[in-house]
Amino acid sequence: MTSDESLSSGTSRRLTPADLHNVRFTRGSMLHPGYSDEEVDRLLNRVGEELGRVYAEKAELRDRVHALQAQVDGVEVPAPPSEQAVRLLATAQQTADNYVAEAEDFSRQITSDARVQYEEQLRQARETAGAILQAAHEAAGRTTGEAGPRGPESGLSTQELEDQVAYLKAFAQACRVQLRSYLEALLIDVESEWGRADPAVLPKAAARTPVPRGKQPAALNVARAMPMDDGARLTEDSGRADGDGGAAGSPNAEVVKQGR
């Protein structure tokens, strides 16, 4: 055999079609005409092995193709949603958005009304307290003026006036505390009203129980994800110095804000 020693000597290398083309068997002798039996048998063995391997590989590949095909078939290429479905979902979403917007508007109105009321009452209370204080000072001035020469008595009335001033200060403080808690109560109402702004629940919202934190019913979700940016509509007082909340702004006015 002339082509390649390794062809006959080992099985480490795979048999290729070119190998077979190049096979040249050793001629026999006069005694044994034809090819060398031994070489032919060896080659037939190898060809047999190789064919077996090829078939096995082919079967394995066929299985893989089937498996992959099944995978591909299993994947649903999502059909584009029908026009009808899109319209339906769009309407539902819009309805939900409108409810949320209404609830938010309601909350904004109530909160700003409450704030106006709170500030007005605080202002009045302060004015009243100021006036009382003023009157007390004047009275004190008069009393000490009149009672000046009388000695001990004047000391007493100053003491009384100081008590009165202290009382009035405390009264003003109490007013402030009370007004504050009044406003807080209003705000809590607003929060809970707003929380129950789910369309289904809205008409029954008359019962005003504040919802404890962390225990809101699932129905709250509609209202929780309010769309509005915080106070997106600036109320008329937003230009004042105490301004706006946590919003961070733009890098600097000339780049961003002045364009708007």
Partner 1 sequence: MDIPAMRANFAKAAAAGDEAPLYFYSHLFLSHPETRSMFPVSMAHQRDRLFAALGEVVSRVDDLDSLVPILQQLGRDHRKFGALPAHYPAVGASLLATLEHFDEDWNDHLAQTWAAAYKVVATVMIDAAEEAADQPPWWEAEVVAHERRTVDVAVLRLRPEPALDYLPGDSISLETQARPRLWRYYSPANAPRPDGTIEIHVKAHDGGPVSGALVRQVGVGDVLRLGPPIGHLAFDAESDRDLLLVAGGTGLAPVKAVVDQIARNGPARRVDLFVGARVEEQLYDRPELSRLEREHGWLTVTFAVSDDKESELEHGDIGDVVQRHGPWRSRDAYVVGPAAMVDDTVARLSGQGLPRERIRTEVFAPSRPGPSVDGEVTE
Number of residues that bind partner 1 (CB under 8 A): 66
Residues 224 and 219: their CA atoms lie apart, in Å, by 9
**Smallest distance, Å, CB 240 to partner 1?**
5
Nearer to partner 1, 5 or 229 (CB): 229
Residue of the chain from 29, 145, 152, 213 that contacts partner 1 (CB under 8 A): 213
Does residue number 34 form part of the binding site for partner 1 (CB under 8 A)? no
Other CB atoms within 10 Å distance of the CB of residue 92:
10
**What are the CA-CA distances from residue 62 to residues 48, 161, 205 (Å)?**
21, 107, 67
From residue 103 to residue 142, the character string flagging contacts with partner 1 as x (rule: CB under 8 A) and all else as - is -xx-xxx-xx--x--x-------x---x------------
Nearer to partner 1, 58 or 257 (CB): 257
Residue 221: which residues within 8 A CB-CB, separation 6 or more?
198
Residue indicated by tokens 């000046």: 148
Nearer to partner 1, 2 or 94 (CB): 94
Residue of the chain from 57, 97, 153, 162 that contacts partner 1 (CB under 8 A): 97
Residue of the chain from 13, 27, 87, 150 that contacts partner 1 (CB under 8 A): 87
Residues facing 35 on adjacent strands: 27
CA pseudo-torsion sign 197, 198, 200, 201: negative
DSSP secondary structure string for all residues of 21-75 = HT--PPB--SSS-SB-HHHHHHHHHHHHHHHHHHHHHHHHHHHHHHHHHHHHHHS
**Smallest distance, Å, CB 97 to partner 1?**
4
CA pseudo-torsion sign 100, 101, 102, 105: positive
Binding site for partner 1 (CB under 8 A): 78, 80-81, 85-87, 89-90, 93-94, 96-97, 100-101, 104-105, 107-109, 111-112, 115, 118, 126, 130, 180, 183-184, 187-188, 191, 213, 221-222, 224-235, 237-254, 256-257
